[in-house]
Chain A
Amino acid sequence: MDAPLVAGPETVQRAAAARRRRPVWLTGSFVLGLILLFWPLVAALTIGLVVDPRGLRIGAAPVGSAPSALHPFGSDNAGRDLLTLLAVGTPPTYVIGFVAGFLATAFGTIIGLISGYARGATDTVLRGIIDVTLGIPALAVAIIVTALLGSISTEQLALVIAVLIWAFPARQIRSQVLSLREQQYVFISRLSNQGSLSIVFTELLPNLLPFVMASLVASISFAILLAVGLQLLSLGSAEPTLGLVLQLAISGGALSRGMWWWWLPPAIVLVSIFIGLFLLSTSVDRLSNPRLREVADAG
């Protein structure tokens, strides 16, 4: 009776489970999301190789000029070459987003794991810290901090942001751990003399990967959002960034003066990044939402 001739729902579930081992999130929308997210980075890095950094200086190009052969993206009202500006200003946004996102997710996951598994006093303390951190309005604090610190490097900004957003993944992971730890295989592990740390990292973490992935995408999104928000307020680093360009464009009256080449490219890039992140997060969401059972319950 180990290999039935006709497949009952149990066999179909096994087949479905086997299918789950293939990347189910590798859908069209995931690939599209990746493209939308990364093409600006690829473009910027490539162009950055060939571009002349002197284009960043004021007066490098005729002031407020429309796109031309010499300056394909035109120039802003201070005569800076916009192509150079964009090529140099785009990558830092990614750096901030990814560094902050990874840091926040890694730290948040570890805290969530420990808090959810340990329970008792440890959990109470950690959960308190998580809750308090969640209550902090990230943008407001980021504004205050960056305003106080003045000009800081991209890496430092990433760190500031990570400190503000790690609590989201922590809470997510903690609640998953709370339910996972009741699984019988955790009980069996304890019976097999496995240490708590080993259980947390070798038994629970692999089953949490979908949630970690989802948290990662969410964290990166949030980090980029915060970073651009700060840049639009001309806070954060003084280096040229996407947000800064956009901010200058708006305050420089690009809209009313019809200088579309100034505000449109950064806007397009930002929109593309966010749509890309959105698509990624919805397709990764399928991973952490195992409604992959299309079959009726076992009979």
Chain B
Amino acid sequence: MSTDGRTPADARTPADANGAGNPDAPLLELRHVGKAFRSGRGRKATSLVALEDFSLTLDGSPPRIVALAGESGSGKTTVANLVLGFLTPTHGEVLYRGRPVAQLRGRSGTGFRQEVQAITQDPYSAFNPFYRVGRVFDTVIRNFPLASGPEDARAKVAQALDFVGLSPERMLDAYPHQLSGGERQRVMVARAFLLRPRLIIADEPVSMVDASIRATILELMLRLRNELGVSFLYITHDLSTAYRIADELIILRRGQVVEAGDPRTVIEHPQHPYTRLLMSSIPIPDPDHRWQGRIAELQAELNEDLEVPA
């Protein structure tokens, strides 16, 4: 994997000249965002509150990795979809560079779409089994102003694959089922590299990848931040990886922020009872440091109910 020592400035593509939004505003801002899902109609309608009064500011310069940690049902996936513009908030605003995402999606769509990208959780279903792997890059090159012609496109794709340590000869003509999970995820990172976004929503990018490859994928994310100036919203349930890679950690529970701050501080000195419960449940890979006490007692002590039946 070569680092070509480019500064973020030269690595940017022509799209930046008319980048979406206001360059002085923070990259991403969520202001008191609430999101409720309604199902059913009329009197039998129920409302599920996925997110409540959620606020977040991600400046973007210098580029940062903000980890959003939570369990299932915490609302973290909702935040991802809101930022990507696939959902609209019930309350509050979701702003990209000062402009509401809902607006940007529609009009200067191309700019926003290119600048805000995602890396998803499941490397297996991220590829259409019907087509070769190379098509992932073809689609992106076709839909965004990334290359000046087929030769340039080929070179850029090769560069992207080189960044993640894969060879174009092997990858482009292969079918997804011929690749391992780790390889597929790396192709997804290469796709992101090709796009040169400003912000990547990484939704559990390593949870379905073998442990031995996880560090490599996380390292690629760090390199994207350092070498291309990409900021990340890193969504995860695994606090150990957040600890490793994040500049800021936010703990979500049932749609609300429970604790936030420097990852080291939050993890080593949790303040909120839920965070404390979380920390004490993380299995430490050392037989000499086993869980103390019983979780049921800790739960009672902290007065947090563990499980809500579906």
In-complex Cβ contact of B143 among A1, A184, A193, A203 (8 A): A193
In-complex Cβ contact of B113 among A10, A184, A187, A193 (8 A): A193
Instruction: Tell me whether chain A's interface is mostly helix, strand or loop, or mixed.
Output: helix
- Asked whether, in the complex, the Cβ of A191 is within 8 Å of the Cβ of B122, the reply is no
- Asked whether, in the complex, the Cβ of B120 is within 8 Å of the Cβ of A184, the reply is yes
A289 within 8 A of B: no
- Taken together as a complex, chains A and B put the C-alpha atoms of A193 and B178 apart, in Å, by 26
B117 within 8 A of A: yes
A206 within 8 A of B: yes
Count residues of chain B with CB under 8 A from any CB of chain A: 30
- Taken together as a complex, chains A and B put the C-alpha atoms of A190 and B129 apart, in Å, by 17
B183 within 8 A of A: yes
Q: Residue of A at shortest CB range from B112?
A: A193
B291 within 8 A of A: no
- Asked whether, in the complex, the Cβ of B120 is within 8 Å of the Cβ of A187, the reply is yes
Residues of A close to B114: CB separation below 8 A? 193
Residues of A close to B144: CB separation below 8 A? 192-193
Residues of A close to B122: CB separation below 8 A? 184
In-complex Cβ contact of A14 among B125, B126, B139, B178 (8 A): B178
B84 within 8 A of A: yes
- Asked whether, in the complex, the Cβ of B180 is within 8 Å of the Cβ of A2, the reply is yes
- Asked whether, in the complex, the Cβ of A17 is within 8 Å of the Cβ of B177, the reply is yes
The listed residue with most A CB atoms (<10 A of its CB), out of B110, B143, B177, B183, is B177
- Taken together as a complex, chains A and B put the C-alpha atoms of A185 and B110 apart, in Å, by 19
- Taken together as a complex, chains A and B put the C-alpha atoms of A2 and B167 apart, in Å, by 13
Q: Residue of A at shortest CB range from B195?
A: A192
- Asked whether, in the complex, the Cβ of B139 is within 8 Å of the Cβ of A189, the reply is yes
B130 within 8 A of A: yes
Q: Residue of B at shortest CB range from A4?
A: B180
Residues of A close to B127: CB separation below 8 A? 185
Residues of B close to A192: CB separation below 8 A? 113, 139-140, 143-144
In-complex Cβ contact of B177 among A18, A184, A188, A191 (8 A): A18
Known contacts A14-B178, A183-B125, A207 near B130 by CB under 8 Å: yes
B109 within 8 A of A: yes
Q: Residue of A at shortest CB range from B141?
A: A192
Residues of A close to B121: CB separation below 8 A? 184
Question: Which residues of B in the span 153-208 have a Cβ within 8 Å of any Cβ on A?
Answer: 177-178, 180, 183, 188
Question: Which residues of A in the span 184-242 have a Cβ within 8 Å of any Cβ on B?
Answer: 184-185, 187-194, 203, 206-207
Question: Which residues of B in the span 103-125 have a Cβ within 8 Å of any Cβ on A?
Answer: 109-110, 113-114, 117-118, 120-122, 125
- Asked whether, in the complex, the Cβ of B180 is within 8 Å of the Cβ of A188, the reply is no
- Taken together as a complex, chains A and B put the C-alpha atoms of A190 and B109 apart, in Å, by 12
In the complex, how many angstroms separate the beta carbon of A201 from the nearest chain B beta carbon? 12
- Taken together as a complex, chains A and B put the C-alpha atoms of A191 and B85 apart, in Å, by 10
Residues of A close to B178: CB separation below 8 A? 14, 18
1/0 contact string of A15-42 vs chain B (CB within 8 Å): 0011000000000000000000000000
Q: Residue of B at shortest CB range from A182?
A: B125
The listed residue with most B CB atoms (<10 A of its CB), out of A2, A14, A184, is A184
- Taken together as a complex, chains A and B put the C-alpha atoms of A266 and B154 apart, in Å, by 63
In the complex, how many angstroms separate the beta carbon of A287 from the nearest chain B beta carbon? 14
- Asked whether, in the complex, the Cβ of B120 is within 8 Å of the Cβ of A193, the reply is no
In-complex Cβ contact of B136 among A13, A188, A206, A207 (8 A): A188
- Asked whether, in the complex, the Cβ of A188 is within 8 Å of the Cβ of B126, the reply is yes
- Taken together as a complex, chains A and B put the C-alpha atoms of A191 and B120 apart, in Å, by 11
- Asked whether, in the complex, the Cβ of A193 is within 8 Å of the Cβ of B84, the reply is no
In the complex, how many angstroms separate the beta carbon of A108 from the nearest chain B beta carbon? 21
In the complex, how many angstroms separate the beta carbon of B131 from the nearest chain A beta carbon? 8
In-complex Cβ contact of A185 among B86, B109, B125, B143 (8 A): B125
Q: Residue of A at shortest CB range from B138?
A: A192
- Asked whether, in the complex, the Cβ of A191 is within 8 Å of the Cβ of B125, the reply is no
Q: Residue of A at shortest CB range from B84?
A: A191
Which residues does B use to contact A, with CB under 8 Å? Answer: 84, 86, 109-110, 113-114, 117-118, 120-122, 125-131, 136, 139-140, 143-144, 177-178, 180, 183, 188, 210, 212
**27 A-B contacts, Cβ less than 8 Å apart?**
A1-B210, A2-B183, A10-B180, A14-B178, A17-B129, A18-B177, A18-B178, A184-B121, A184-B122, A185-B125, A187-B126, A188-B136, A188-B188, A189-B128, A191-B113, A192-B139, A192-B143, A193-B109, A193-B113, A193-B114, A193-B144, A194-B139, A194-B143, A203-B128, A206-B128, A206-B131, A207-B130
7 extra interface residue pairs, beta carbon distance < 8 Å, beyond A1-B210, A14-B178, A190-B86 = A2-B183, A14-B177, A185-B127, A187-B120, A191-B84, A192-B144, A194-B143
Q: What are the 6 A-B residue pairs with the smallest beta carbon separation, nearest first?
A: A184-B125, A193-B143, A17-B177, A206-B130, A185-B128, A184-B126
